Amino acid sequence: MTDAAALLDFSKTTFFDFFGPLNDAANMEAYAAVAFTSQKILSELIESNSEFYFAMLADEIVGYLKLNFNNTQTEFHDANAMEIERIYVSRNHHKKNIGKNLLNFAVNVAFQRQLKYIWLGVWEHNTNAIGFYSHNGFEVFSSHEFTLGDDLQTDLLMKRVL
């Protein structure tokens, strides 16, 4: 439970640090009440087709990666693909190549499993992330709606063919 509690705390803190200033507080809290619960994190951790990888510094989580395969992908459910559902890096460790290292790790996982492509969703207003993924070989191929509280937002879907 300690690992799940640490993951939950890190996820929620990182999400609020980045997206909180850009969104309505009530919508953030409404989303967090569903997305960041102990039960949800535990169910994600035990899901056999999802994998978590952590960036650690002196026993502290400074970033993590969540990969989804097969039917755990939030869309598509393609056996030849892998979804990067999350790359989170703590605010204090931005610009230290942790996100890049996590992304490179994910690409290596996909190559080892001989997958055809990697895909992910990124908020249309997150220009830094869009630039990061574009610079690393991802291209926008579609979009979907994402609900944050009662705010309907658009995520761009990006793909990197391997």
Supply the residues annotated as catalytic: 133
85, 63 in Cβ contact below 8 A?
no
DSSP output for 61-123: EEEEEEEEEGGGSSS---TTEEEEEEEEE-GGGTTSSHHHHHHHHHHHHHHHTT-SEEEEEEE
